């Protein structure tokens, strides 16, 4: 499992905002915005709180827990099925 910022990008689209608009409104650095666009990169809880406050939204409008499948390929359910089957056998 990892943290995905996909809900944030959807929230921004719904509000007709760009990443740069958020960066300026929330006082974020370009590195913070760039890190949110990379798999496995994390930002601090303080930064998440600032984003939520700026957008007047909840944390689930900003982040979600995502599976281990690579998002660039669309993933598949095979790994989950194999892990589930392995647990059921033991």
| Residue of higher predicted confidence among 89 and 48 | 48
Q: For residue 68, what is the domain's CATH number?
A: 1.10.260.40
To the nearest whole percent, how much of the chain has pLDDT over 90? Answer: 58
pLDDT at 47: 94
- Give me the chain's average pLDDT, please: 82
| Rounded-to-integer distance, Cα 82 and Cα 11, Å | 34
Work out how many domains the chain is built from and give that number: 1
Could you report the per-residue pLDDT of 28-42, keeping only the tens digit for each? 999 999 999 887 788
To the nearest whole percent, how much of the chain has pLDDT over 70? Answer: 76
pLDDT at 7: 96
Q: Which two tokens stand for residue 71?
A: 């998002």
pLDDT at 39: 73
| Residue of higher predicted confidence among 16 and 74 | 16
| Rounded-to-integer distance, Cα 33 and Cα 5, Å | 10
Q: Which two tokens stand for residue 76?
A: 């598949």
Q: Which two tokens stand for residue 52?
A: 């939520």
| Residue of higher predicted confidence among 84 and 55 | 55
Range of the domain at 56: 2-89
What is the number of H-type helices and E-type strands within the chain? 5, 2
**What backbone torsions phi and psi does residue 61 show, to the nearest 5 degrees?**
-85, -5
């Amino acid at each position: 499992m990892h943290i995905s910022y996909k809900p944030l990008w959807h929230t921004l689209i719904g509000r007709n905002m760009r990443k740069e608009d958020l960066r300026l409104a929330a006082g974020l650095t370009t590195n913070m915005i760039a890190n949110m666009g990379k798999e496995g990169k994390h930002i601090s809880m303080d930064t998440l709180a600032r984003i939520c406050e700026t957008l007047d939204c909840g944390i689930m409008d900003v982040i979600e827990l995502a599976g281990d499948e690579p998002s660039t390929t669309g993933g598949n359910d095979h790994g989950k099925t194999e892990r589930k089957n392995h647990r059921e056998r033991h």
